[in-house]
């Protein structure tokens, strides 16, 4: 008898190689079943003829399991594919009845549930979190009058003025259709060729090349509704508004080089940060405000409030705070909630209305349309994350994946059968604002949309010098990746209209000069009064709250020092994470076990907001001789971080070309004294800009 036949003769070897991990269900609750509810007896082996024979088609458990798996992906979003969501609530500060009748803005004791999804725009679902890109900031308010979606971005303007150009914009930024690269980047010919042929994109480009496009954390960025909307009060009076979200955590960004390093070291940097802060009970919070203005005021502005490439400086129309949003619960299931959530700017409630912004009008169509494909049919609002939390009924029936069981024989209105329900309600139902409109049917861009440079200049000129340098660096990096010299030249020709110095810096970095003919603006470029509110550094608080300190240390670290430092950092609202030479457990001087959060070669200092380096006496030389450690601290210095160090780290500092006392951000920590104030005060400044 051959060996093989021998095996066949022993079909009693039932389970896989899980050994002791295989456990039988002990109660009904623990039993695994098929989707039909039939209890599964063996989830390790498919049904075969003999032990080594062919697999049987009748194995319904195998077929069901694999069929489900085969269909586990749905199309990713055509834009904003990479996103991260969380639950929370919105609470108005007071009644805003004079402004709007929207129910969720009336009662300060009411918490309206929200679901928020942050996203990048260009990258696919698996792209890194820290790509240079606009961030989506989409909020679904589950109000008692229906779902209201405020689908915004972290920048207050947009690339284009008319929705008809959206497919072109997105095709230009996405990977080239023949070679399918580059991924999650605008740094390529087709994007810059397109935008350089679209002067209306100049204002947004300056924002996208700024630090706003590389936020430190999703918790640390602003959000904007961008378009002008309407608010309507119970008397039917309408005002125009623009929405703003401002983070309580402050607004902070990465440095471009850090963003690049983090993309490799931790592509999930932003989602990890969001998940961890919510799990730790450090709930991210934003204030929702509106800029309120009348049509008469709008008519006096030099720009058109229906043009989404324009903002209204806060100095001209200040923010009116409406309430706060707190994110306090992570999702239970990423796919079911974050992936299946369907936002739509057309989801609106009584008291809020659209404006005629042509970009907004196009969006009102696009979102529901895309969701029909992405979520597979017209019943996607029955998915739990999309369901309204208020009563909902109508006469829509049937369709792919109908989950409800509507009752009765009537699905038409009017009807005298049954009770003829549900019925419309003139008093409480949504009514569009009866705005007077008249005109000829034309395909034109209004004259009032023609100024493409004044606000780009306003934004650039309102920045601090560091922010301006970063913008110039962003343009130079991106244009440097363009192979077509004509495209670079065309962009320099645009930049000359925004600011000559900016054009000069970019041209210099590209090895070019500014001897190009500036693009002729359609209307003369003006100088608006500068706006401090546009600069994130001018309004950045000195704080460590919500941030991360990386402690590079070695086995045997002084127990009291470690404990006191950890306590001081946590008191400042930050977290400390230990970076060690090896991943396994280490001991402090008292023999207590410390499990490092990271090992050195897997955790570049770019992952932290500030660093401390504190080796033990006997490990100091080993650390100073370690090229990874030298790199770690050298990069922290280059990224302008505040560096705390102990005496034992002196050699490492020297090898990294860091001079103690070179600036206020290199701070000696005295092991013997339990006082970290100097270090913490410096670290609260976030970066030492003068070092650059
Ligand atoms: Fe859009 C998704 C924000 C213009 C068409 N958009 C989408 C998301 C955000 C925005 C945050 C992701 C929502 C989520 O997390 O699921 N989009 C904006 C902003 C715009 C804008 C702030 C300009 C002010 N979008 C815009 C235009 C069009 C679209 C002009 C088309 C005419 N957007 C879409 C879309 C997406 C989308 C194709 C993709 C997935 C989805 O809707 O559900 O319909």
Ligand 1 pocket mutation, candidates 367, 370, 371, criterion most atoms within 8 A of CB: 367
Domains of the chain: 84-386 (2.40.180.10), 452-538 (1.20.1370.20), 542-691 (3.40.50.880)
Q: Does ligand 1 have an atom closer than 6 angstroms to the CB of 116?
A: no
What pLDDT, in 10s, does the model give residues 441-491?
999 999 999 999 999 999 999 999 999 999 999 999 999 999 999 999 999
Strands, E assignment, 248-303: 285-293
Q: Tell me the DSSP string of 493-516.
A: HHHHHH-HHHHHHHHHHTT--S-S
For a pocket test of ligand 1, which of 79, 137, 338 has the largest count of ligand atoms closer than 8 A to its C-beta?
A: 79
Annotated binding site for heme: which residue ranges? Answer: 77, 117, 166, 363, 367, 374
CA-closest residue to ligand 1 atom 26: 363
Mean pLDDT of 604-617: 97
In ligand 1, which atom is closest to the CA atom of 117? 15
pLDDT, residue 649, reads 96
Could you tell me which residues come within 8 angstroms of residue 218 by beta carbon, excluding any fewer than 6 positions away?
84, 118, 135, 270, 271, 273, 274, 284
Q: Among all residues, which ones are annotated catalytic?
A: 80, 153
Per-residue pLDDT, averaged over 412-431, amounts to 91
The string of pLDDT tens digits covering residues 522-548 is 999 999 999 999 999 999 899 999 999
> pLDDT per residue over 47-102, tens digit each?
999 989 999 999 999 999 999 999 999 999 999 999 999 999 999 999 999 999 99
Ligand 1 pocket member 85 (CB < 6 A) = no
Question: For the chain, what is the mean pLDDT?
Answer: 95
If you ran DSSP here, which 8-state letter would residue 347 be given? -
pLDDT at 20 (0 to 100): 64
Predicted confidence (pLDDT) at residue 6 exceeds the cutoff of 50: no
Q: What is the DSSP string of 6-43?
A: HHHT-TT--S-TTGGG-----SGGG--B-TT-PBPS-S
Q: Round to whole Å and give the CA distance between 91 and 306.
A: 29
The predicted model scores a pTM of 0.96
**Band of the pLDDT at 22, cuts 50, 70, 90?**
confident
Tokens linked to 204: 């947004």
Reported residue count of the chain is 692
Is residue 422 within 8 Å of residue 393, measured between CB atoms?
A: yes
pLDDT at res. 305: 98
362 lines ligand 1 (CB under 6 A): yes
Range in 21-25, 44-48, 380-384, 612-616 with the lowest mean pLDDT: 21-25
363 lines ligand 1 (CB under 6 A): yes
């Amino acid at each position: 008898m051959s060996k093989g036949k021998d095996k066949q003769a022993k079909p009693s070897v039932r389970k896989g190689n899980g050994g002791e991990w295989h456990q039988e269900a002990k109660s009904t609750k623990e039993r695994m079943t098929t989707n039909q509810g039939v209890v599964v007896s063996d989830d390790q082996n498919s049904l075969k003829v003999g032990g080594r024979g062919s697999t049987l088609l009748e194995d319904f458990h195998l077929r069901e399991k694999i069929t489900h798996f085969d269909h586990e992906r749905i199309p990713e979003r055509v834009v904003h594919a990479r996103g991260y969501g969380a639950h929370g609530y919105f609470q108005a500060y007071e009644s805003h009845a004079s402004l709007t009748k929207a129910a969720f803005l009336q009662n300060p004791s009411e918490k309206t549930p929200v679901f928020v999804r942050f996203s990048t725009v260009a990258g696919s679902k698996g792209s890194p979190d820290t790509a240079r890109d606009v961030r989506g900031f989409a909020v679904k308010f589950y109000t008692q009058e229906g779902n209201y979606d405020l689908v915004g971005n972290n920048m207050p303007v947009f690339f284009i003025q008319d929705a008809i150009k959206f497919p072109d914009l997105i095709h230009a930024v996405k990977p080239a259709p023949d070679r399918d690269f580059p991924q999650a980047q605008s740094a390529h010919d087709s994007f810059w060729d397109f935008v350089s042929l679209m002067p209306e994109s100049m204002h947004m480009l300056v924002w996208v090349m700024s630090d706003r496009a590389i936020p430190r954390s999703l918790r640390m960025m602003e959000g904007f509704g961008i378009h002008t909307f309407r608010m309507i009060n119970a008397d039917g009076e309408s005002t125009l508004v623009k929405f703003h979200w401002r983070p309580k955590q402050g607004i902070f960004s990465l440095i471009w080089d850090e963003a690049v390093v983090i993309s490799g070291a931790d592509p999930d940097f932003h989602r990890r940060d969001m998940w961890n802060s919510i799990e730790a009970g450090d709930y991210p919070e934003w204030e929702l405000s509106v800029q309120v203005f009348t049509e008469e005021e709008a008519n006096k502005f030099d720009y058109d409030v229906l043009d989404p490439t324009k903002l209204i400086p806060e100095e001209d129309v200040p923010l009116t705070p409406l309430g706060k949003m707190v994110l306090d619960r992570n999702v239970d299931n990423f796919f079911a909630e974050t992936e299946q959530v369907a936002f739509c700017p057309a989801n609106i409630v009584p008291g809020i209305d659209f404006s005629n912004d042509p970009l907004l009008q196009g969006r009102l169509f696009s979102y529901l349309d895309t969701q029909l494909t992405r979520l597979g049919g017209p019943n996607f609002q029955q998915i739990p994350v999309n369901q309204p939390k208020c009563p909902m009924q109508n006469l829509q029936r049937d369709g792919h994946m109908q989950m409800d069981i509507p009752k009765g024989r009537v699905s038409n209105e009017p009807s005298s059968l049954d009770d003829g329900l549900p019925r419309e309600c003139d008093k409480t139902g949504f009514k569009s604002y009866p705005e007077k409109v008249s005109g000829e049917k034309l395909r034109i861009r209004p004259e009032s949309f023609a100024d493409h440079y004044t606000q780009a200049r306003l934004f650039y000129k309102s920045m601090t010098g560091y922010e301006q340098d970063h913008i110039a660096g962003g343009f130079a990096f991106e244009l440097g990746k363009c192979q077509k010299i004509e495209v670079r030249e065309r962009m320099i020709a645009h930049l000359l209209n925004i600011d000559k110095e900016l054009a000069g810096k970019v041209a210099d970095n590209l090895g070019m000069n500014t001897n190009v003919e500036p693009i002729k603006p359609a209307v003369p470029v003006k100088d608006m009064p500068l706006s401090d509110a546009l600069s994130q550094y001018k309004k950045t608080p000195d704080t460590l709250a919500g941030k991360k300190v990386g402690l590079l240390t070695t086995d045997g670290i002084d127990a009291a020092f470690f404990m006191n430092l950890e306590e001081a950092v946590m008191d400042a609202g930050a977290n400390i994470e230990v970076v060690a030479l090896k991943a396994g457990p280490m001991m402090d001087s008292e023999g207590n076990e410390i499990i490092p959060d990271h090992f050195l070669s897997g955790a570049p200092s770019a992952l932290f907001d500030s660093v401390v380096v504190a080796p033990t006496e006997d490990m100091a030389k080993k650390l100073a001789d370690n090229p990874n450690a030298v790199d770690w601290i050298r990069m922290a210095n280059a990224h302008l971080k505040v560096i705390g160090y102990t005496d034992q780290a002196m050699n490492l500092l020297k090898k990294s070309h860091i001079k103690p006392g070179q600036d206020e951000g290199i701070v000696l920590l005295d092991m013997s004294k339990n006082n970290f104030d100097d270090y913490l005060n410096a670290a609260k400044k976030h970066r030492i800009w003068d070092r650059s």
